[in-house]
């Protein structure tokens, strides 16, 4: 009996110690410094572009509760690229049409900003009015494309965030 009490007491002390450590960790403020991201100079550097887009998306995650939906369209006009753009167009249109839960983010970027803008605009044609309230739409692209994407996203009531790719 004494042995059982000692084991239970040891387990309880361990649990208390663990819960105290967890509370201490929760009390520490989150690191606010985000690593700077660098725009790739080569539009065909797919890996570099994806890393850049992920880095920018991470910098815009405040208040987002889920892993973001990320969409990337590569540069180029080869049949493979065109096929990939068509697949992305279909995927994005399906997601926007179904809707996204509040507290989520959908992020878009490409070395070909105009093409990405066209894909977004086409996809948001299926969005119902106010269907994306409390969802963040992040567009990483050229300033020349910002307003037309903003206008396409507006009826959905999503929070639109633009980051100039530079």
CATH number at residue 50: 3.40.50
Q: Tell me the two tokens of residue 91.
A: 């995927």
55 and 17 within one domain: no
77 and 7 within one domain: no
In the predicted model, what is the mean pLDDT of residues 62-73? 94
Q: Which of 51, 28, 24 is nearest to 38 (CA)?
A: 51
Give the DSSP per-residue string, 76-120.
--SHHHHHHHHHHHHHHHHHHHH---TT-EEEEE-SSHHHHHHHH
Q: How many structural domains does the chain have?
A: 2
Interatomic CA distance for residues 24 and 41, integer angstroms = 43
Its domain, for residue 130, covers 35-164
Cβ 101 vs Cβ 45: under 8 Å: no
95 and 19 within one domain: no
89 and 140 within one domain: yes
Measured from the Cβ of residue 105, the count of other Cβ atoms closer than 10 Å reads 23
75 and 121 within one domain: yes
pLDDT in tens, 132-163: 999 999 999 999 999 999 999 999 999 999 99
pLDDT band at 13 (very low <50, low <70, confident <90, very high): very low
The pTM of this model reads 0.78
Q: Is 79 exposed, middle or buried (0-12, 13-18, 19+ CB in 10 A)?
A: exposed
pLDDT in tens, 83-120: 999 999 999 999 999 999 999 999 999 999 999 999 99
138 and 61 within one domain: yes
- Say what the pLDDT of residue 8 is: 38
């Amino acid at each position: 009996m004494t042995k059982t009490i000692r084991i239970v007491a040891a387990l309880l002390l361990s649990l208390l110690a663990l819960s105290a450590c967890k509370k201490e960790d929760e009390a520490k403020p989150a690191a606010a410094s985000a690593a700077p991201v660098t725009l790739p100079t080569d539009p065909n550097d797919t890996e570099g572009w994806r890393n850049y887009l992920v880095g920018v998306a991470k910098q815009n995650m405040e208040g987002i509760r889920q892993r973001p939906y990320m969409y990337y369209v590569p540069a180029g006009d080869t049949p493979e690229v065109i096929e990939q753009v068509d697949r992305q167009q279909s995927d994005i249109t399906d997601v926007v049409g179904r809707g996204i839960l509040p507290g989520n983010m959908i992020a878009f970027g490409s070395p070909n900003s105009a093409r990405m803008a066209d894909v977004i605009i086409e996809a948001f044609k299926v969005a119902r009015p106010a269907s994306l309230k409390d969802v963040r739409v992040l567009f990483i692209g050229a300033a020349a494309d910002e307003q037309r994407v903003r206008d396409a996203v507006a009826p959905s009531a999503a929070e639109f965030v633009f980051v100039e790719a530079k």
